[in-house]
Structure 1
Amino acid sequence: MANVLRWIPLILFSTSALVLGGIKRGESDPIFSAWYTGWHAEDYPLSDVSWSKYTHMIYSVALTTPSASVVEVGVSDDALLKQFVQLAHQNNVKASLSIGGWTASQWYSSNVGSAKNRTTFVNTVTTLAKKYNLDGLDFDWEYPGLQGIGCNAVSPEDTANFLSFLQELRTTITGNKLIISVPVAAPFADASGSPSTNVSAFKDVLDFITVMNYDTGSNSSFGVGPNSPLDDLCAPISGQRSSATTEIDAWAAAGMPLDQIVLGVPAYGRGYSVSKQSAYKSGSILAPYPAYSVSNTPPGDKWSAVGGIDVCGINEGPGGVYTYWGLMEEGFLNTDGTIKTGIAYRYDNCSQTPYVYNSTSQVYVSFDNAQSFAAKGGFIRLKGLRGFSMWEAGGDYNDTLLDSISVSIPLAAIPSVNAGAPGEATLYQLNTTGSQPSASPTASSSSRDLRHNSGQWRSFFTVIALCAWICSR
């Protein structure tokens, strides 16, 4: 039954694309993906992964090093990565390994910075792929030509060198067979540091890019905004800088085909310290873009970084991250996805973002729920994108987010974002009523650990998809 359920949304996605645009059968298969983080394996073991609902999974993470001949896989990751690949293959899921990330991109620039190093790095990553029987490599360089965490090696030639490395990788027997992906924000920086206006050469060496549509919407200059906005035209002018729409349109304009773009989606939100005076407007209605304290970030849930000295030697504060299940453990949401008593709620129809606020702790959270993930699925469908990849698999609860986006890709649309002309009040009207989101029928009300019931429920959304498929026969 699990195998049947897995293919229902994929069949609907592929066949409907023949009529309505998007991914076409035989040209590019849809991608239903997530990252699996090895450092959370104790809380979220591989046995908890709903393998049958994915087409691809990416193990995070291997580290770049000062030597192009070494990509570091941790001692604890070695056995876990082998098990990850084995389970993926047993479930007909493609298994990739992510290299780099926010805290481990320091040495990408030097590793691809010369012809000699590029050849060495090609040999290193292909050897790694063969050792672990990988189907793909996910080069998470944050970011070519730009500083990321603060102590990365950076060169104006990074983007050109990265392209040369990928081209050389594709000339090898192993590299030519691999699924090669790259998580991205704006188009790669050119030699001047500006987003490239022509990335078309990358389409020939990459299977897809993943636009990381998260950690984008808040700034001390304009307040708490959406963590993962589909659009940002309703934001203050200074906040109209990054959304799924703007970033994907920029990549497409620069020459990346839409069916080689995957939407990165977060199974988490970010919390901010917001006073009661700033949090509300008109009494009990939550205000959009409230001011927040830059120096007092909430701790987040138990998976959130606690702070301390980072890889650059900088003392960082707490992360303020709340996974979807963490919002339940921390008292913002019930396990069916509805809002806890005493918690204020707001849904922004423009960016498709829910917010919650605890007036006692004075924590204001921008996050994602089933409604916003359904909107993201509709967005993927209407834009003709390749699919989605979720950071991270373990952040979901009972597959609520995964099921919502998976079924919404073939079935749903998002009229609040895609109807009318820009600037129309009906298009960008904010839902400030505080009304409850729909309850998730997949949730359990009795669980000592909110993450460990995912294998015991089947989604109501999947049943809808099954009925639609049968009726169309």
Structure 2
Amino acid sequence: MKTADKKPVVIGYVTGYSGLINTDDIAAEKLTHINYAFVNVKNNQAYLDNEIRDTENFKRLNTLKLKNPNLQLLISIGGWSWSENFSNAVLTDSLRKGFAKSAVDIIRKHNLDGVDIDWEYPSMQGEEGNVYRPEDKENFTLMFESIRKELDVLEKETGKKKLLTTATGGFSSFLTNTEMGKAQKYLDYINLMTYDYYSWKQAGHHTNLYSSKTYLSDNSADKAIIAYIKAGVPSSKIVMGIAFYERNLKLNSNAQKGLGDTILSSANNYGKGYTFLKDSLINKKGFIEYKDKDAKAPFLFNAQTKQYISYDNEWSVANKCKYVLKNKLGGVMFWEYSSDKKGYLLDQITKSFK
């Protein structure tokens, strides 16, 4: 590897399911990769759910290479809502071959650079109704082997490197249900979804770098990364997840401090994204921003309305980027681009990796 390749990757997930992409909104020069979310799994094949829209989006994304010729474009297959058919699609050798071919045919046809698999989750329940079975553990690895073979064929045809990556759970049970040490051999990057770390009992952080002393929880990005390395994944392939969106909770009427207090309900749980938070809520309208210095994670608490919001801000992103550089990780990825329209967090990533 040339030393130039050692610069951390910055992978942005860009959604196509919300409609046509406006490429003017994307700062292509600040990204190394765009993962287009999502491609469905249907009849054991990778399947474009809205071929007209997706085809147009691929065309538009390809124009970003005029701004950044090194930009790599990948299709991301699956996601939370479209992972129910993975288990069936990769159950046998011939099914895996067919699935791999269908995935690679999409990038062949649309002149893209790789395939990202976001299976939530092999051998364990993701969304209700998902098919999962014990055999997923081995089939997960074998699926990557099949896709890699198809990508090698495409590399020979085009003379260009084709990538295979995956988005994985940033928690230990993901590792007990997969063979990441084996699977990594076929993968260029492993994008750790080090977010959505929250419980339904007490208000915690959803995307913390380290453990909090105020609120004890099993999960943090640091814990996940250490566990993946222990499972045999090289640190240079590990990509840390950053959340461009927040998690909103309504706390009990006796909540005093936010973090660690009892949850009453989730309130508009997914939120409007970081640009909205920064411009409209942080230290405004009764929302006070606090920093959990141990966890390197911010949160907002409104003492009047008892609303609690967990998110990433510039300070937490700077800490994550510093961790990536110090531990020689592959880089960072984020979900998802349109949640921070003004690019506050992406600008911080750029600054941190300069």
TM-score (norm: length of structure 1): 0.68
Per the alignment, residue 332 of structure 2 pairs with: 388
> SS at the partner of 2:187?
coil
Per the alignment, residue 120 of structure 2 pairs with: 142
Give 4+ residue runs of structure 1 displaced > 6 Å after superposition: none
Tell me if 1:271 matches 2:252: no
Q: Does 1:105 align with 2:83?
A: yes
Gaps of 5+ in 2: none
| Cα deviations by residue, 1:49-85 (Å, 9 ceiling, x for unpaired) | 11111111111111111x1245233142221222113
Q: Which amino acid aligns with 1:184?
A: T
Paired residue secondary structure (1:277): coil
**What is the rounded CA distance, in whole Å, between the counterparts of 1:87 and 1:204 in structure 2?**
30
Deviation at 1:142, TM superposition (A): 0.5
RMSD (Å), alpha carbons: 2.3
Q: Residue type matched to 1:73 in 2?
A: D
Displacement after TM superposition at 1:341 (Å): 5.5
> How far is the alpha carbon of 1:45 from its aligned partner?
2.0
The structural deviation recorded for 1:233 is 5.1
Residues 1:227 and 2:201 are matched in the alignment: no
Distance 1:153 1:195, change over 3 A: closer
Aligned CA distance change for structure 1 residues 292 and 91 (closer, same or farther; 3 Å): same
Identity %: 26
Report matched runs for 1:263-342 at 5 Å.
263-278=240-255, 280=256, 286-294=257-265, 297-299=266-268, 319-328=269-278, 331-333=280-282, 339-340=283-284, 342=286
Q: Which residue in the other structure is 1:243 paired with?
A: 220
Indicate yes or no: 2:134 matched with 1:165: no
Q: Are 1:73 and 2:49 counterparts? A: yes
> Deviation digits for residues 140-189 of structure 1, max 9, x if unmatched?
00011111002111121112112112212222312784211100113675
Greater percentage in strand:
2
Spell out, residue by residue over 1:373-423, the C-alpha distance to the aligned partner (whole angstroms, 9 max, x if none): 1111111111211111111111114221112123224xxxxxxxxxxxxxx
CA contact (8 A) 1:210 1:262 kept: yes
**What letter corresponds to residue 58 of structure 1 in structure 2?**
N
| Per-residue CA distance 1:107-134 (angstroms, 9 max, x = gap) | 1111111111011111111111101111
Q: CA deviation at 1:204?
A: 1.6
Distance 1:275 1:219, change over 3 A: closer
Match of residue 377 from structure 1: 321
Residue 36 (str. 1) matches residue 7 (str. 2): no
> 1:24 Cα deviation (Å)?
7.5
Q: How far apart are the structure 2 equivalents of 1:70 and 1:35? A: 18
Matched to 2:143, the amino acid is F
Q: 1:266 corresponds to which letter in structure 2?
A: A
- CA deviation after TM superposition for structure 1 residue 321, in Å: 2.4
Q: SS of the counterpart of 2:141?
A: helix
Answer yes or no: is the 8 Å Cα contact 1:270–1:322 preserved in 2: no
How far 1:91 sits from its partner (Å)?
Answer: 2.1
Deviation at 1:235, TM superposition (A): 5.3
* Whole-angstrom distance in 1 between the partners of 2:214 and 2:140: 34
Distance across 2 between alignment mates of 1:158 and 1:195: 8
Task: Give the Å deviation of 1:352.
Answer: 1.2
* Conservation of the 8 A alpha-carbon contact between 1:226 and 1:366: yes
- Residue of structure 1 equivalent to 2:184: 203
Aligned partners of 1:48, 1:27: CA distance in 2, in Å? 26
CA contact (8 A) 1:159 1:189 kept: no
Is structure 2 residue 296 aligned with structure 1 residue 352?
Answer: yes
Q: 1:356-435 to 2 correspondence within 5 Å?
A: 356-409=300-353
For 1:249, the aligned partner's letter is I
The 8 Å contact of residues 59 and 84 in structure 1, kept in 2 or not, is answered as no
Report deviation, 1:361.
3.7
* Partner secondary structure for residue 293 of structure 1: strand
Distance 2:341 2:48 in 1: 31
Counterpart position of 2:163: 179
TM-score (normalizing by structure 2): 0.90
Q: What CA distance in whole angstroms lies between the structure 1 residues aligned with 2:5 and 2:345?
A: 27
Q: SS of the counterpart of 2:17? A: helix
Letter of the 2:273 counterpart: T
Aligned length: 345
